[in-house]
Structure 1
Amino acid sequence: MKTFKYILLAIGLTALSGFAQETLDAGDPNTFIFGGDQKTTNFSLDILPLAIIDIEPDPGGAGSGSGLGPLEAGLPVTGVASNLDNLWLNFTHRADGIQPGRIYVSTNQQVTVGMVIYVEIEPGNYGVDGDFPKNPIIGQVILSQTEQIIVNNFLNGYTGDGLNNGYHLIYTIDNPSSNSLPAGFEILYRIE
Structure 2
Amino acid sequence: MIKKIIYIIVLNSFLGYSQKNVESKNASFKLKEIALLSIEPNNSTVMLNLGSPDFSGDKVKTTSVNNEKWINFTSAISNSSSKRNLLVKIEDGNIPNGIELKLKTDNYTGNGKGQLGVKTNIVSLNKSSQTIISDIGGAYTGSGTNNGYKITYLLDIYDYKLLNRNNSQVLTISLTLTDF
Deviation at residue 87 of structure 1 after TM alignment:
1.1
Matching residue of 1:187: 173
Report 1:35-184 matches (<5 A).
Answer: 45-58=29-42, 60=43, 68-69=44-45, 80=47, 82-97=64-79, 98-114=81-97, 115-122=99-106, 124=107, 126-175=108-157, 176=160, 177=163, 178=165, 179-182=167-170
C-alpha distance 163-29 of structure 1, shift in aligned 2 (>3 A) = farther
Stretches of structure 2 that go unaligned for 5 or more consecutive residues are 1-17, 49-63
Which aligned runs of 4 or more in structure 1 are off by greater than 4 angstroms? none
* 1:93–1:158 CA contact under 8 A, matched in 2: yes
Q: CA RMSD in A?
A: 2.7
* Cα separation, 2, equivalents of 1:167 and 1:153: 14
Q: For each residue in 1:17-61, what CA deviation from the matched residue of structure 2 results, as whole angstroms up to 9, or x when unmatched?
A: xxxxxxxxxxx785136xxxxx976x6544221111111123x3x
* Cα separation, 1, equivalents of 2:172 and 2:20: 62
* 1:120–1:141 CA contact under 8 A, matched in 2: yes
Amino acid at match of 1:168: K
Question: Greater Rg, structure 1 or structure 2?
Answer: 1
Stretches of structure 1 that go unaligned for 5 or more consecutive residues are 1-27, 34-38, 61-67, 70-76
Amino acid at match of 1:55: I
* 2:117–2:137 CA contact under 8 A, matched in 1: no
* 2:41–2:145 CA contact under 8 A, matched in 1: yes
Identity rate of aligned residues, in percent? 22
TM-score of the aligned structures, taking structure 1 as reference length: 0.60
Q: For each residue in 1:146-168, what CA deviation from the matched residue of structure 2 results, as whole angstroms up to 9, or x when unmatched?
A: 11111111210000011110001
Aligned length: 138
Deviation at residue 187 of structure 1 after TM alignment:
0.8
C-alpha distance 84-100 of structure 1, shift in aligned 2 (>3 A) = same
* 1:110–1:144 CA contact under 8 A, matched in 2: no
